[in-house]
Each structure stands twice: as C-alpha cells, then as structure tokens.
Amino acid sequence: MRARVYVTQPVAAAALTRLREVAEVSLNADALHIPGKDELLVAVREHDILFCLLHDRIDADVIDANKNLRMIASMTITPADIDIKAATARHLPVTVIPAALLNDATADHTWALMFAVGRRIAEADRLARAGIIPGSQSNYFAAGGISGKTLGLIGLGGVGRAVAQRARGFPLKVIYHDPRRLTASDEQALGLNWVAFDELLATADYVSLHANLSAKTHHLISERELSLMKPTAYLINTSRGPIVDEHALVRALIERRIAGAGLDVFEHEPGINPALLGLSNTVITPHMGSAVATLRAAMADAVVDNIIAVLDGRQPPNCWNKEIYST
C-alpha cells in the first residue's frame, strides 16, 4: 500500500507530480485558506505523512492524532511552529529545507522594502490611484532616500551577506552587528564595518534585521532599542516577526520616533496588527520574501526529496531532529 501524504496548501505542480509518483497525495487546494487545528487533526488521522508550510502550527495534539504517522515534512528553514519535542519522542523525523535556497530572494525583497518605504513608493502608488497627483516637483512625497545613507545589518548569515553584497552597487556605508564577527578579509570583501549593537541602532538610517529567531532574539527590537534609533531611520524586517516587539513598534511609528518600517514578517502570523495597516509610514507585505516561482519550486522539491528518503528507509537530507537516527 502506498503512503498517503497530505499537503496543507498548493505547492509547485512539478513537485506534486514527483510526489504522486511515489505516494497517494491529497491537499488543501485553496491557496488562501490556512487549515486550522481541527482540519489538521482530521488530515493527520487519515494520512501517513504531513507536508506542511511555514504558517502551519503542528502541536503535540496534531502529532499524536495518528500513531502511524511517519514524518512531518516542513517547507521552512526553522520549524518554530512544530512541537519538535513531541515529534522526537515519537521518533518522527521533522524535515526542513536548506537555508541557502532563500538567501537571494529574501535579500532582493529586503531591498524592495527599503526602496518602497525609503522613497515612499507604496504610499505614492496608493495616492496616485486615488487621484492625488501633487506635481512632479512638489515636496509632498519628499522622502529619506537611499544613496549616501548608512545601512545597518543585524545578523550576518546567508541573507545578511546577500543584502551586503547588493549594497556594493550603491553609494552606501554598511555597518553590521553579529555576535560572531567576520574575519577582516571577509569584512573588506563585503565592504562592512562591525559595530556594537547599540551603536548600529543609533547610527544607521536603515536597520535591517537578519537574525535567526530564538529565545535570545525574541523581542530583540523593543522599546529601548527603538528609542536608540534616529527619528529619520527606518526599520526593515524580512527575518521573523517575533524578533520585533510589535506593540512597541506601533507606538514608535505613531509617535514618529522613527521614520517608518518595511515589514514582511509579523509577530502573530498570519495575523497582522491592524494598527500597522493603518499607518502611512509602513510598507506591509504578507511574508513573501521567497515568493519567486523558481525558488518556490526548488523549496517544494527539497520537501519531496526528504519524503522520498523516508519512504526509501533512508535518513532524509534535511532532518531537523536527526538525533532520532542515532538512537
């Protein structure tokens, strides 16, 4: 009997075709519908493998809904919303995708947000469509701009490095903070200067977040950190939402203690704080940093590679809790 796989939302067609060659596949076909817990419980009871996406919350109840569940195949880099402890106790592999896949697309999106908020492009688009055309040399849309500014990168993993590489094409000063400082040669190659955390916040015109989400980085940016930023500075976040204390950010934006924010991730996804949506000095995108067709296809293929490995009785190439194979 072939394994039964449930996919929580549509993914690349070619990956689904590969998966159907080795398993029976059913899926939620509505790309705008995120299955709730009750739906996940029903699906897990009827399937052997769960193919889930970043926004799916897979808790112990879902994991324990089927004693014959064979794996949880996630299309995310870090399975923050999966109960790893519960899965590991059951010796269920939890698989992820390689982080490097997303570096370029997320870096591109970071720069898109910088331009959109730093040149007020999104705001101008909304008003132009509403018939508000102030004139080509009006000060109405005067903005902070990009050239000649200081970009501060917090976290210099793959995405942070890719953002820094793109900065070489602009007349910008780029500073960074990461607990693991680069070598002098790497800093020189990327045109970077390491500074202390508080100095970066106080100096940068754009503070761009690229840290991994962990207990240490939860609310890394909160009231104190926002108070250190310049009133003309912008916060850009394409990493993970809970790194920013969203209530503190809303207050800073309303009070104009910072100039604006470009956000692709949010503290309580898929929900977005309504206060953020009502602010003209924000640019909001719905966690779409990886929304490039070829990339999404590669991401889905990586998940299928993991599933095929488990079906073949092999350790999957991107297993998060690989200790289950050593015991």
Tokens of 260: 């604006």
- Give me the active site residues, please: 240, 269, 287
Number of neighbouring beta carbons within 10 Å of residue 232 = 12
Residue 45 amino acid letter: R
At 215, list the tokens.
């207990």
Neighbours of 62 (CB within 10 A): 23
Q: How far apart are CA 269 and CA 275, in angstroms?
A: 15
- Distance, in Å, from the CA atom of 262 to the CA atom of 281, rounded to the nearest integer, reads 9
CA–CA separation, 190 and 287 (whole Å) = 27
Strand partners of residue 150 = 173
Q: How far is CA 312 from CA 2, 44, 242, 320, in A?
A: 12, 21, 37, 18
Residue 107 CA to residue 159 CA, distance in Å, equals 6
